[in-house]
Structure 1
Amino acid sequence: MKIYKYFILTALSLLLTNCGDTNGSKKSSLSINIEAKSLMLGDKLTLSINNPQQQEITNVSYELNGKAIEKQSVLDHITLGQKTITAKVTVGDKTETLSKTIQIYNNEKPSYYKYEVINTYPHDITSYTQGLEFYNGELYESTGQRTESKLRKVNFETGEVLKNINLDDAYFGEGLTILNDKIYQLTWQAKRGFVYDVNTFEKLTTFNYGTSKEGWGICNDGETLYKSDGTEKIYLLNPENLNEKSHIEVYTEKGKIPNLNEMEWINGKIFANIYQKNGVAIINPKTGGVEGVIDFTPLRKLVTQHPQLDVLNGIAYHPERETIFVTGKNWDKIFEVKIKKQ
């Protein structure tokens, strides 16, 4: 009886397996062929279909991230990073959809910038700086660490705290930016940000993140918010509804740059701290390409050395002075610098 039941169960298993194995799950012999091994911005993309069984193909159409392209296309007016190429291939009366992932790199090496320290100012050594920005000549700062996170307005020349609110203990404060008299402050892993009135620090609303993983840095160009989440991606947000409209991916000519942290919009470019590095990347917001790098490593030796001292983080542009202010997590100084391409 046991043997009989075993055969019955085996037969049912085979029947169900065969019923589930339809033509739709059959692996296609066709595939997308790309001539170049690596692709850079401005390269010519040449596509074809591998057809080892010599099937009669009557039509092929290609798309790059959902937009129609020709089988030979120049990779300009496009953002960098990972992209998906799809091909709809008609064989007889059936159409197959094929896909292939590619990566597009920047077509230029980053330039190196040197800096000159113009002034040095005091900074609260207990501030785990996450965001730093000037607005109407006033310096605003967001700090991190649970139970210690704050939003502040600071006199940058004296270090005096002019206005301060503490975040709820559950939140780990991250970057901030200010647009149209509203402060946008991120938190780290809670997937939530806050919007305040810049004059009163009254909390106006909260917002949830979209597909971005976490909250790290944020800046704006006067119309759009740019948000980092600790990966190589920077998300573009509508400041009215805080929806993530799209994203760019930050790449050099060699590969992606992850751990993008605090950001600042300076003269049409995004300046981004890279977590665990004492440097700043200068990013083209239209492509995601890294156009420049500033190494601020020597500044860390100019601040008081103590056990809680952490990496460079915090970059703010003063448009009237045309200088950049930089500091770090638990640094006791803010440095006013000018930069110049080497």
Structure 2
Amino acid sequence: MSLLLAFVLLAEPAVADPVPPPVERCGYRVVQSYPHDSASFTQGLFWDGGHLYEATGQYGHSRIARLDLETGKALAETKLPDDQFGEGITRWGHQIIGVTWQNGVGHRWSIKDLKPLGDFAYDGEGWGVAMVGDRLVLSDGSSDLRFLDPATMKEQGRVTVRFGGRPLRMINELETIDGQIWANIWMTDLIVRIDPASGDVVSLVDLSGLKADAGARGSDSVLNGIAWDAKKKRLFVTGKYWPKLYEIALADCG
């Protein structure tokens, strides 16, 4: 699917801006690949303290785990209740905050040992989460991103993600890199880079071909999972049921 066709299909009908903001387009190059558990339905991913942290979905199989990068093996894990479908996770202080798909229940775990620290409730669906400054940003599959107080989970504001002036749906897993929100667009090979103040998509990253390289099969095995190692400036991506996780670098931007 071409970039243009993908966004035409996902964009909601709206009155476009007279002059939409310019959008940079980037490809990628693979720096290195690593093993990834092909049984993991990846929903959330982040890097912290030398390890990857991953949240997986599917009822009866949802968990959060600390992963060894070199082997892909779980060094520690905590399972979610069987009736909950795990979604995105992020770090806030000494906590990991995670959401579930349609349960309206979120969880807090200790990042030290992944032990539960408590639950919270929120409205609507949960897809991806990340920290933007001192606020937590939540995606729910719509074109809106909600900004929440991570201590109380009270909404503090929201922004509509727009591509070419039109709202863009299916915003999924989130990561914050250098002040921008990076987001997977569900069922595509695309990552968008979003200005959190305006909601405008300022850059597209086309990862076409990576799923095939990973040897992933099936319609559910889509790109999902973005992690940023801020200290070493490394960008990691993977997908649902992928047997590989990649460190990539952007290329051919323009």
Relative to the length of structure 2, the TM-score reads 0.90
Residue in structure 2 matched with residue 310 of structure 1 by the alignment: 221
Residue in structure 1 matched with residue 207 of structure 2 by the alignment: 296
Contact 2:43 2:56 in 1 (8 A): yes
Relative contact order, CA 8 A, sep 6+: which one is greater? 2
Residue in structure 2 matched with residue 134 of structure 1 by the alignment: 47
Please list every run of at least 4 consecutive aligned residues from structure 1 whose deviation after the TM superposition is greater than 3 angstroms: 102-107, 305-309
Q: Counterparts of 1:170 and 1:301 in 2: how far apart (Å)?
A: 32
Change (3 A) 1:307 1:298: closer
Three-state SS of the structure 1 residue aligned to 2:209 is helix
Contact 1:281 1:294 in 2 (8 A): yes
2:72 is the counterpart of 1:167: no
- Equivalent positions of 1:118-157 (< 5 A) are 118-157=31-70
Q: Counterparts of 1:245 and 1:305 in 2: how far apart (Å)?
A: 39
Letter of the 1:247 counterpart: R
Residue in structure 2 matched with residue 337 of structure 1 by the alignment: 248
Contact 1:326 1:334 in 2 (8 A): yes
2:253 is the counterpart of 1:319: no
Q: Offset at 1:126? A: 0.2
Q: Offset at 1:104? A: 6.8
Residue in structure 2 matched with residue 20 of structure 1 by the alignment: none
User: C-alpha offsets along residues 2-49 of structure 1, whole Å, 9 cap, x if unaligned?
Assistant: xxxxxxxxxxxxxxxxxxxxxxxxxxxxxxxxxxxxxxxxxxxxxxxx
What stretches of structure 2 of length at least 5 have no aligned partner?
1-11
Contact 2:189 2:207 in 1 (8 A): yes
Q: Offset at 1:198? A: 0.5
Q: 1:110 is matched with which residue: 23, 28, 32?
A: 23
Q: Offset at 1:136? A: 2.0
Contact 2:60 2:84 in 1 (8 A): yes
Letter of the 2:84 counterpart: Y
Q: Counterparts of 1:309 and 1:162 in 2: how far apart (Å)?
A: 26
Q: Counterparts of 1:239 and 1:254 in 2: how far apart (Å)?
A: 30
Q: Aligned Cα RMSD in Å?
A: 1.7
Residue in structure 2 matched with residue 98 of structure 1 by the alignment: none
Letter of the 1:155 counterpart: D
Q: Counterparts of 2:147 and 2:130 in 1: how far apart (Å)?
A: 10
Q: 1:203 is matched with which residue: 116, 137, 161?
A: 116
Q: Offset at 1:109? A: 2.8
Contact 1:313 1:328 in 2 (8 A): yes
User: C-alpha offsets along residues 265-303 of structure 1, whole Å, 9 cap, x if unaligned?
Assistant: 000100000111111000000000000000112101111
Residue in structure 2 matched with residue 226 of structure 1 by the alignment: 137
Q: Offset at 1:321? A: 2.0
Letter of the 1:120 counterpart: S
Give the structure with higher Rg (CA). 1
Q: Counterparts of 1:339 and 1:208 in 2: how far apart (Å)?
A: 37
User: C-alpha offsets along residues 188-219 of structure 1, whole Å, 9 cap, x if unaligned?
Assistant: 00011101111121211111113xx2000000
Residue in structure 2 matched with residue 85 of structure 1 by the alignment: none
Letter of the 1:215 counterpart: G
Q: Counterparts of 2:70 and 2:130 in 1: how far apart (Å)?
A: 23
Q: Counterparts of 1:122 and 1:304 in 2: how far apart (Å)?
A: 12
What stretches of structure 1 of length at least 5 have no aligned partner?
1-81, 83-101
Q: Counterparts of 1:206 and 1:330 in 2: how far apart (Å)?
A: 28
Three-state SS of the structure 2 residue aligned to 1:297 is coil
Change (3 A) 1:110 1:272: same
Q: 1:238 is matched with which residue: 149, 154, 157?
A: 149
Q: Counterparts of 1:327 and 1:335 in 2: how far apart (Å)?
A: 6
Q: Offset at 1:137? A: 2.4
Residue in structure 1 matched with residue 172 of structure 2 by the alignment: 261
Residue in structure 1 matched with residue 4 of structure 2 by the alignment: none
Residue in structure 2 matched with residue 217 of structure 1 by the alignment: 128
* Count of residue correspondences: 240
2:202 is the counterpart of 1:287: no
Relative to the length of structure 1, the TM-score reads 0.67
Contact 1:195 1:204 in 2 (8 A): yes
Q: Counterparts of 2:91 and 2:147 in 1: how far apart (Å)?
A: 15
